[in-house]
Amino acid sequence: MRMYHANAAIPPAQHARRAEVLSGFSLFPGDIVRPPRAWLERTANVVRVTEPARGGHFAPFEEPELYAEELRAFFRPYRTAATG
């Protein structure tokens, strides 16, 4: 409940800001909300969007191996670029 209370105190202009950091999204089929790609791109610098076959709102708990692979796949090109 503390998180909801804290989020309600954030000024509306802050919610409208676009995150410019490279962002990736895994849209799991059983998640509570599946935002449209257009919304993701409007609010973040999207470089990767995937739709895994399994998992839901608690994907790291439900499908830990799949979740870990999603993270590895997102960071893999940046790790290689940094070491090359």
Q: What's the average pLDDT block by block, 10 residues per block, for the chain (84 residues)?
A: 87 87 96 92 96 94 96 91 61
Is the Cβ–Cβ distance between 30 and 57 less than 8 Å? Answer: yes
The span from the CA of 55 to the CA of 51, in Å, is 10
> Pick from 30, 26, 14, 20: which is nearest to 62 by CA?
30
pLDDT at 79: 85
pLDDT at 16: 81
pLDDT at 1: 83
pLDDT at 48: 97
The structural domains of the chain, with segments of one domain joined by +, span 2-83
Show Cβ contacts of residue 31 under 8 Å, excluding neighbours closer than 6 positions.
55, 56, 57, 59
Work out whether the CA dihedral 70, 57, 61, 23 comes out positive or negative: positive
pTM over 0.85: no
pLDDT at 40: 95
